[in-house]
């Protein structure tokens, strides 16, 4: 029994995690609305991708995108992916596939209970597709 206790203590100390190093907080964006629903993913080259909802009025918002090639130290200029000029868009989700394409989905006309739609767009490394 004594050997088991000693072994347990040795194992406990050997699996202690090392201290984490956090960078100083950085702004992903400075666009000007209220920022909601941020979502991140990392592609196979280590690029961090971020999408979020930028709310301007109660029934109007847009989806923006930015990326970082240096582990989040600096971020690209925000791009308006949704190009929405009429309704509230919300709840963006972004994922990366095995070919490094980005896939984005979000709710369109999300202020309406009866007319809400799910939109999808793909980024092929150069351009975002039109929403459908």
CA distance 34 to 54: 5
CA 86 to chain centre: 24
Q: What is the pLDDT of residue 104?
A: 97
| pLDDT for 32 | 67
Question: 3-state DSSP: the chain helix, strand, coil percent, rounded to 5?
Answer: 10, 40, 50
Query: What is the pLDDT tens value at each position of the chain, 132 positions in all?
Result: 667 676 666 655 666 556 677 778 877 877 666 888 899 999 999 999 999 998 888 889 999 999 999 999 999 999 999 988 889 999 999 999 999 999 999 999 988 889 999 999 999 888 999 988
Q: Is the pTM of this model over 0.85?
A: no
Residue 39 and residue 93 in contact, taking contact as beta carbons nearer than 8 Å: yes
Residue 38's pLDDT is what?
Answer: 93
In the chain, where are the structural domains located?
28-123
Q: In this predicted structure, what is the pLDDT of residue 126?
A: 87
Strand partners for 102: 96, 123
| Dihedral sign from CA coordinates of 115, 121, 127, 130 | negative
């Amino acid at each position: 029994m004594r050997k088991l206790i000693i072994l347990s203590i040795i194992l406990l100390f050997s699996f202690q995690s090392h201290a984490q190093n956090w960078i100083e907080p950085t702004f992903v964006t400075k666009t000007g609305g209220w920022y909601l629903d941020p979502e991140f993913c990392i592609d196979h080259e280590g690029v961090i991708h971020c999408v979020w909802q930028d709310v301007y009025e109660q029934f109007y918002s847009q989806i923006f995108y930015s990326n970082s090639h240096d582990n989040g130290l600096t971020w690209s200029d925000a791009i308006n992916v949704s190009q929405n000029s009429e309704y509230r868009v919300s709840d963006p989700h972004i994922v990366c596939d095995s070919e490094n394409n980005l896939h984005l989905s979000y709710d369109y006309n999300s202020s309406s209970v009866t007319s809400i739609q799910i939109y999808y767009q793909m980024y092929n490394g150069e351009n975002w597709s039109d929403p459908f």
